[in-house]
Amino acid sequence: METQSRKKQSRKKQSRKKQLKFIDLFAGTGAFSLALEKNDKFECVFTNDIIKSSKKIYELNHPNHKFTLEDLNKVNVDDVPTHNLLCGGFPCQPFSIAGVKKGFDDERSNVFWKIIEILKKHTPEIIILENVKNLKSHDKGNTYKIIINKLQERGYHIKTSILDTSKITSIPQHRERIYIVGFRDKETYDKFNFDFVEKGKKPISDFLEKNVNDKYYYTDRFKVFEEVEKGVTKNISENVLYQWRRKYVRENKSNCCPTLTANMGSGGHNVPILKDDKGIRKLTPRECFNLQGFPSDYKLPNLSDSALYKLAGNAVSVPVVDLIVNKLDGVI
């Protein structure tokens, strides 16, 4: 009996050591891949996005991964490798405040059904999905119910939580996102939780560059210069950022960066701005990536600022995924 018990324990230890293969859908800047591969238990076997700039930044930082630049709906599920974990921040614009909130009427949200098709074909043990918090309230909660029901129909036990980057990490960016984690194994599901301890935030200045290019500063050649100059009064030394809200300036009083959005580089709302000893300026693309938790050596491709802002605004917060991955590591 003792010998059999030891054999069972040995098999359990070996199974824990096996490398788990994952696929990173809507990979964007590569936040999921970055967080998962910090743990040598996980290996990426497939990556996908439809955006060319995503391919550039992803391949620059993950040169050994195979990146499929194609609409996921056009990808044959038979071409997707067998995997243990499926992750992805599926398009949030159909459900976001910054978007038009069309939900399943928006063609971008149709890729959710492709996720279901992949799950049906490959039945990975674990899924991690990320989206804007408004997914939960969209269409009076019906969209969320459909998503959860469809995942459950595929045999997954689901846990969800709305997590704010500024509350559970040291990153001072207010970013609320819903995370959907599913398990085929009920015992593993029971062990997993979203119980993260609140952490103190680092000052915004820790994430800023030195010697910022003049092009990021507002001058009188900008049409909105007078309004910006009137509204931005406190120096960044007071740990304050502001938002340009298309027609007016709003002070962000929480000592946080406002939620970074994909449209901030094109003059849309939520453009984060600050006042330093040199003048009033926008955050740089690198600073936006810093405030998403990417390491300082994460390479940015030679793209326009607007393209980089969009990538940063669409990104998943790396330290939040780190926390989820650490929780997974403790239960699988």
Residue 268: exposure state from Cβ atoms within 10 A (0-12, 13-18, ≥19): middle
Is residue 150's pLDDT more than 90? yes
Positions marked catalytic: 92
Residues 20, 23: Cα–Cα separation, whole Å:
10
More confidently predicted of 273 and 247: 273
Q: What is the pLDDT of residue 152?
A: 98
Is the same domain home to 326 and 287?
no
In contact, 68 and 46? CB cutoff 8 Å: yes
Give the count of domains, the chain.
Answer: 2
pLDDT digits over 39-91, tens only?
999 999 999 999 999 999 999 999 999 899 999 999 999 999 999 999 999 87
Is the same domain home to 267 and 164?
no
CATH code, 76: 3.40.50.150
In contact, 127 and 182? CB cutoff 8 Å: yes
Q: What is the pLDDT of residue 267?
A: 60
Is the same domain home to 227 and 113?
no
* Beta strands 241-244 and 271-275, pairing class: antiparallel
Residue 75: give the domain boundaries: 17-200+315-331
- Which residue reads 């029971």 in tokens? 190
For residue 1, tell me if it sits in a domain. no
Helix/strand/coil for 195: coil
Residues 237, 240: Cα–Cα separation, whole Å:
8
Is the same domain home to 23 and 171?
yes
Q: What is the average pLDDT score of the chain?
A: 89
CATH code, 237: 3.90.120
* Beta strands 85-88 and 20-25, pairing class: parallel
Report field, pTM of the whole predicted structure over 0.85: yes
Phi, psi of 153 (to 5 degrees): -60, -25
Give the burial string for 132-154 (b: 16+ CB within 10 Å, else e): bbbbbebbeeebbeebbeebeeb
